[in-house]
Structure 1
């Protein structure tokens, strides 16, 4: 039996009690006595809160102002209407886009449109955090997080990191700026020494902490480093970029698990920039091809990698440059949701000691064409990859309700699979959070 927001599940408190709820109402011998622990269990109510987590790199929305936004929002609202969550967490990366100095005003308007929309009117409590203070280079992350609480969800609190205590959530709170001094959010930009050989960029994490029906959890917005050069990514396995991301993610996990605060189950969702293992993948894609490396005249540095088919008039199968990854048979990344390529998606595996992920059954989330008429086509700039992910701690996984096969109580998918959403397809996880309503 599952009721929206409140579902009693009758659980005996000891092994001697094998009686089900139905047997309480059946014909029982007058002399039969139920153990006291069964009667106590009648007050042990397990409840569910329906939760929607969304991660979206929205840089394209502001680099192409007005061209994509309306369809993007329509797909978001459609997903919310379909699943009817009681708690929504939206984690955004690259707020303001690449030209954030010019576009940050558009970004603020984007948040306002969502906050004030008719589709969100039944969410009577809203918490918004936008790091838009690009003038403070040492701390600017371009991260934004929005949290919406439905009017049917009564028992919810948010953590104050200064006083180290939870407080009831009421009304609408909006924090826009550097977020320094905002006590309900913890934000960090990764230090420069994480990648001394590369340009320092807007990468970091932002954490909020919640209690939903007595179940505490951390929600962490993450943006990790990208692959600056396809050619460098192909040099080693794992690549130097993968190693940088590994160090940064380990840093985030250590920070949210350290002794400053009590550790809680956590969800990490954002643009992790995870890439397929390029060296192994290129070797696989070019097994039946002639591989040629073209070097610059002035140095011994590789400028291009060109793989030509041995027959078929030596058609170019794969062409790689710093910012070019052109593969002739691009459909392989979409067929069967790219399942054949998941074996090259290795970056999460090294963290399986602390985090898990639901099965991926959607195509790589990046880099989609930004042309309105080509919503399912990938750009030839990078190798398609599952950059945008929702990861969770082992303890968080225990609190996800899993129904029978065919039950739609858990969905891990992309928003707008057939609509232009920018270069990143947003990724969402909908689930019922098991809580205890004591």
Structure 2
């Protein structure tokens, strides 16, 4: 699949992030399609090193879905499409009985048989170990030395009784290049009405705090600073107040309150003429906009001006240009591959972000333009409520050394 490595060709890297919660609600229909599209992406890009960061492994009803998780992992490990990947590391946070630690994250790493020189970092021993064979770790990830895992403290999201949000970090050495891969799941918007109240929303502030915490952790003094990629479900949303004002600029707003508590129950935006046509209905879990095409035309990129949550981290996190439609919330109806659910305003929740030195490596001048691809998987079929997002690129021998130095210089400069 991935051919023999040559210095000219470089090492192919494929990073994928996928919130897979839907797959375990309807494994019969969704899982087959999801895996087919995933394998096709692997076949197209032919990576030597493949990292897949999953969130919500097991879905909402984790206890009932455990057997589906096991069969999903077995399929990935034994499939014909992956047979040339002779080494694997799979980390599944399956200990759902531990509210204190459970994140439902799954990190999958596959190494092609032609890639000879790859090591993984042991955080306890503080040294690299050669990667051989296939290993799956679950249950007690807290004591697994080859990763760091944390669940965000309860006080980060007090209105959510029991959140599964957190991160898992691993570190790899590939030839002369050392890098961190961080699987992350940040907090969602609990209510469209609360998100609309102010700009930026209260939820945006919570995500900012949590992401800042992760970046501080991976760049603290305990270990050498190296380039890093943070990819997962950031739950970034468009600035609700601003996007609604833009979408409903010629409409008037009617507020509907509950009879017993007088709380806002619904907002209805209607055209002032045009037969008082309803443009948008907004409830706690309803975002019913009259024209979904606005999120699909030109891949919805006209709405990127309202995608602002990353701007706070512009000195620490970088992203390639987005040219795919919002990754969430797609219909879970297997016949509706391009349709959004009317539960939330569509947004680019699923992202692949990186440090300055990682970006410089990805975009090195000797890399051909077409060899770097940032896109989604399964654009025309149902992949669940999130479309997976991937980044494919190549690194050439010797690229790592200058990059390692670059990270330290970058980090020591005042932000």
Superposed pair shares fold, TM > 0.5: yes
How far is the alpha carbon of 1:323 from its aligned partner?
0.2
Q: Residue 216 of structure 1 is aligned with which of 157, 161, 178?
A: 178
2:63 matched residue in structure 1? 101
1:116 matched residue in structure 2? 78
Matches of 2:70 and 2:224, distance apart in 1: 33
1:321 matched residue in structure 2? 283
How far is the alpha carbon of 1:7 from its aligned partner?
2.5
- Provide the secondary structure at the position in 2 that maps to 1:198: coil
- Residue deviations 1:184-211, cap 9 Å, x none? 0111000001122332311000011000
Matches of 1:365 and 1:322, distance apart in 2: 20
For residues 152-171 of structure 1, the aligned pairs below 5 Å read 152-171=114-133
How far is the alpha carbon of 1:108 from its aligned partner?
1.7
1:388 matched residue in structure 2? 350
Matches of 1:136 and 1:198, distance apart in 2: 16
Matches of 1:278 and 1:178, distance apart in 2: 39
Judging changes above 3 Å, is the alpha-carbon distance between structure 1 residues 214 and 170 closer, same or farther for their aligned structure 2 residues?
Answer: same
Q: Residue 166 of structure 2 is aligned with which of 193, 200, 204?
A: 204
Q: Is the 8 A contact 1:290 1:308 kept in 2?
A: yes
For residues 55-70 of structure 1, the aligned pairs below 5 Å read 55-70=17-32
- Provide the secondary structure at the position in 2 that maps to 1:180: helix
- Provide the secondary structure at the position in 1 that maps to 2:266: strand
2:6 matched residue in structure 1? 6
Q: Is the 8 A contact 2:377 2:389 kept in 1?
A: yes
Runs of 4+ residues deviating >6 angstroms: none
Q: Tell me whether 1:85 sits opposite 2:47 in the alignment.
A: yes
Q: Tell me whether 1:297 sits opposite 2:259 in the alignment.
A: yes
1:252 matched residue in structure 2? 214
Q: Is the 8 A contact 1:4 1:49 kept in 2?
A: no
Q: Tell me whether 1:432 sits opposite 2:377 in the alignment.
A: no
Matches of 1:163 and 1:195, distance apart in 2: 34
TM-score, normalised to structure 1, is 0.88
How far is the alpha carbon of 1:105 from its aligned partner?
1.7
Q: Residue 353 of structure 1 is aligned with which of 315, 318, 326?
A: 315
- Residue deviations 1:289-331, cap 9 Å, x none? 1111111122332111100112221111000000000000110
Give the number of the structure whose alpha-carbon radius of gyration is greater: 1
Q: Is the 8 A contact 2:4 2:114 kept in 1?
A: no
Q: Residue 231 of structure 1 is aligned with which of 178, 181, 193?
A: 193
TM-score, normalised to structure 2, is 0.93
CA RMSD of aligned residues (A): 1.6
- Provide the secondary structure at the position in 1 that maps to 2:41: helix
- Residue deviations 1:392-433, cap 9 Å, x none? 000111111456898321000000000100000000000112
Matches of 1:292 and 1:144, distance apart in 2: 44
2:228 matched residue in structure 1? 266
Matches of 2:343 and 2:113, distance apart in 1: 44
- Provide the secondary structure at the position in 1 that maps to 2:10: strand
Count of aligned pairs between the two proteins? 398
2:297 matched residue in structure 1? 335
For residues 128-139 of structure 1, the aligned pairs below 5 Å read 128-139=90-101
1:22 matched residue in structure 2? none
**Contiguous gaps of at least 5 residues in structure 1:** 9-46
Q: Is the 8 A contact 1:399 1:434 kept in 2?
A: no
Matches of 1:435 and 1:185, distance apart in 2: 26
Q: Is the 8 A contact 1:222 1:268 kept in 2?
A: yes
Q: Is the 8 A contact 1:86 1:153 kept in 2?
A: yes
**Contiguous gaps of at least 5 residues in structure 2:** 402-415
How far is the alpha carbon of 1:174 from its aligned partner?
1.0
Judging changes above 3 Å, is the alpha-carbon distance between structure 1 residues 399 and 196 closer, same or farther for their aligned structure 2 residues?
Answer: same
- Provide the secondary structure at the position in 2 that maps to 1:187: strand
